[in-house]
Amino acid sequence: MAKIPVQFTLNGSERAEFVESGTTLLAALRDKMGDTSPKGGCHQGTCGACTVMVDGELRLSCLTMAETCNGAHIRTTAGLANGEVLHPLQRAFENGFAAQCGFCTPGMIMAAAALLERNPNPSRDDVVEAISGNICRCTGYEPIIQAVLSAARANSTSAA
């Protein structure tokens, strides 16, 4: 089958690959570009583990065709840290023990990052709403909710 060129910006770097038509963004990121931070859970858009940002909007990369992302800016958890310095959300998840097996964590963090970018001071209900598309089997969610709230507080303190 003829392959299709896809070209987009991944975490600030220009990337170009040839993929089979119908290749998901998840498969392109993981198998072609070596970014395994988005996880393949259900592969049908219900678990949220594959969540990434496409042009600032949250997208389920398992349901997004790679070829529809030409020219887009794509962000994944792998691109959140600034060199050695972790993103405030990553620090909050680590300090708050908000991960156990860690499989849902990249999707949770992207969902939370999108929330904090549009609403730097979210309420608990805002956080619950923001992560409601992401399934976690280990933590019981409470540590994740607390980590997101604590990252928001850390941000507002450092901004002040």
Partner 1 sequence: MALRRGRGVAAVNYPTGMNLGGDPTQALVHSTPTGSFMVTLSSVDLGQGLRTVIAQICAETMGVPTESVTIDTADTDTGPHCMGTFASRGTHRVGNAVVQAAREARQVMLEVAAEELEVDPADLETDGQGNIRVKGASNLNISIFDTALAAHFKQGRSISGRGMFLVPRSYPETETGAMKPSTCYAHACTVAEVEVDDETGEVSVLSVKNVFEIGRALNPKMVEQQLIGGSWMGISHALYETTEPYYPNRTQGPRDYNAYLMPGPGDLAETEIAVLERPSGDGPFGAKGPGEMCANPQIPAVANAIFDAVGVRVDTLPITPERVLRALKEMEAAGAG
C-alpha 157: how far from its chain's center? 24
Q: What is the DSSP letter of 111?
A: H
CA distance 96 to 147: 6
Binding range to partner 1, per CB under 8 A, among 8-16, 57-65, 101-109, 149-157? 101-109
Of 115, 102, 107, nearest to 134 (Cα)?
A: 107
Structure tokens at 130: 């923001």
Q: Which residues 29-58 are close enough to bind partner 1 by CB under 8 A?
A: 42, 44, 46-47
Asked if residue 123 binds partner 1 (CB under 8 A), the reply is: no
Give the residue with the Cβ less far from partner 1, 46 or 68: 46
CA distance 148 to 150: 5
Site pattern 54..93 for partner 1 (x: CB under 8 A): ----------------------------------------
Structure tokens at 140: 């019981």
Asked if residue 7 binds partner 1 (CB under 8 A), the reply is: no
C-alpha 149: how far from its chain's center? 17
Give the residue with the Cβ less far from partner 1, 19 or 127: 127
Q: Contact residues for partner 1 (CB under 8 A)? A: 42, 44, 46-47, 97, 100-103, 127-129, 131-132, 135, 137-145
